[in-house]
């Protein structure tokens, strides 16, 4: 049965968003959600636990459903049972990821209009499919997601997040901090070491900052953050605090929103800072800011690939590898702490 015009997503009603599984990608969906809310759709987002806090910082989201599935695997029975509990609630669904499993819940929930990109074996699961552009010619991620709205003029949207003042006060007061009274630094990058500025560079930069430094990240980043904090505090006792794995993502989001400035690799937290308009320095190595830049006028990108003064030129960049295939990682090692400090 073809969905009615009212169920296609143009005249209000209830809409379910199946969210991406990466923090940065979740931030990039905000302009899509803003467009849907502006035309009267009530937005519910179904998200995995580690990106759900990003959607709680989007005021246009009415409800966030935290998906209970473990990482990996389709988990057919669990998804079918979860979908049964959503039957009759939604007029339409927008499926942001390209995977088969991400389209199963809207299909099993009987949602009339199911919108997404053509992906792995999804012909029957989605009834409004956009052609999936090849990886080498894919548009910027904001435009990629915003195109699911069916509207034009999506190329220049910029994500924006908001956190209530009370939430910010709740994370600052116990730590004796004031808004804009500290720097946030995120030394991690989930993809691999070819996206991570060296720990020694982070430490030298942090030691040169006037305000205290908070190191943010997941538990996976604890070792590198401990290394950085110990090096900084040996020079300036108490100047650097390692919070990697010691805060929830909700708390980290609030700390970033309140920071004087942010320094990070190309990571999900980089996109969070950009969406708050926090002044930031974003350090790129193996990846490219031409595809996933921090979308903020307050952001400065450091990427030696496009620096004409850097010699010899980085003909190998961007390689998009987890580790440097040539073994030198010049793209990151040769960005000096003094360069970052001069920008800040």
Residues 191, 116 share a domain? no
Residues 215, 88 share a domain? no
265 occurs within a structural domain:
yes
Residues 195, 133 share a domain? no
Number of domains present in the structure of the chain = 2
Residues 276, 213 share a domain? yes
159 occurs within a structural domain:
no
Structure tokens given for 332: 């990151």
Q: What would the pLDDT profile of 137-163 be if each residue is shown by its tens digit? A: 778 899 999 999 999 888 889 999 999
In the chain, % of residues over pLDDT 70 = 97
Residues 101, 223 share a domain? no
For residues 162 and 55, give the distance between their C-alpha atoms in angstroms, rounded to a whole number.
Answer: 10
Identify the domain containing residue 110 by its residue range: 5-149
Order across the sheet with 213-215: list the strands.
240-242, 213-215, 183-186, 261-265, 280-283, 299-302
For residues 337 and 235, give the distance between their C-alpha atoms in angstroms, rounded to a whole number.
Answer: 16
Q: Which of 293, 300, 251, 295 is nearest to 279 (CA)?
A: 300
Model pLDDT, residue 121: 82
Q: What would the pLDDT profile of 36-72 be if each residue is shown by its tens digit? A: 999 999 999 999 999 999 999 999 999 999 999 877 7
Residues 225, 131 share a domain? no
CATH of the domain at 80: 3.40.50.2000
Model pLDDT, residue 10: 52
Query: What's the whole-model pTM score?
Result: 0.93
Model pLDDT, residue 312: 93
Residues 254, 127 share a domain? no
Mean residue pLDDT of the chain comes to 93
Q: Across residues 221-244, what is the average pLDDT?
A: 97
157 occurs within a structural domain:
no
Q: Across residues 223-248, what is the average pLDDT?
A: 97
Q: What would the pLDDT profile of 288-301 be if each residue is shown by its tens digit? A: 998 889 999 999 99
Residues 329, 185 share a domain? yes
């Amino acid at each position: 049965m073809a969905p009615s015009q009212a169920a296609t997503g143009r005249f209000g009603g209830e809409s379910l968003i199946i969210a991406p599984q990466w923090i940065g990608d979740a931030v990039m969906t905000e302009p899509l959600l803003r467009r849907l809310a502006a035309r009267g759709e009530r937005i519910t987002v179904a998200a995995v636990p580690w990106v759900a806090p990003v959607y709680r910082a989007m005021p246009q989201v009415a409800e966030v459903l935290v998906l209970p599935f473990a990482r990996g695997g389709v988990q057919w029975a669990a998804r079918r049972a979860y979908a049964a509990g959503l039957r009759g609630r939604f007029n339409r669904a927008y499926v942001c990821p390209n995977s088969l499993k991400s389209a199963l819940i809207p299909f099993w929930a009987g949602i009339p209009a199911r919108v997404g990109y053509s992906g792995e074996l999804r012909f029957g699961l989605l009834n409004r499919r956009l052609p999936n552009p090849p990886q080498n010619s894919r548009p910027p991620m904001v435009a990629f997601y915003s195109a699911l709205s069916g509207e034009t003029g999506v190329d220049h949207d910029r994500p924006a997040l908001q956190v209530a003042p009370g939430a910010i006060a709740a994370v600052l007061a116990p730590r004796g901090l004031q808004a804009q009274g500290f720097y946030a630094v995120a030394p991690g990058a989930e993809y691999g070491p070819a996206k991570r500025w060296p720990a020694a560079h982070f430490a030298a930069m942090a030691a040169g900052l006037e305000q205290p430094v908070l190191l943010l990240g997941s538990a996976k980043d604890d070792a590198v953050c401990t290394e950085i904090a110990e090096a900084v505090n040996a020079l300036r006792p108490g100047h650097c605090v390692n919070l990697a794995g010691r805060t929830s993502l909700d708390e980290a989001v609030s700390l970033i929103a309140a920071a004087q400035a942010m320094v990070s690799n190309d990571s999900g937290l980089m996109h969070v800072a950009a969406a708050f308009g926090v002044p930031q320095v974003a350090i790129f190595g193996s990846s490219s800011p031409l595809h996933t830049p921090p979308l903020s006028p307050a952001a400065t990108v450091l990427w030696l690939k496009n620096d004409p003064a850097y010699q010899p030129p980085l003909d190998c960049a961007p390689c998009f590898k987890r580790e440097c295939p040539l073994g030198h990682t010049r793209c990151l090692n040769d960005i000096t702490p003094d360069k970052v400090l001069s920008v800040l």
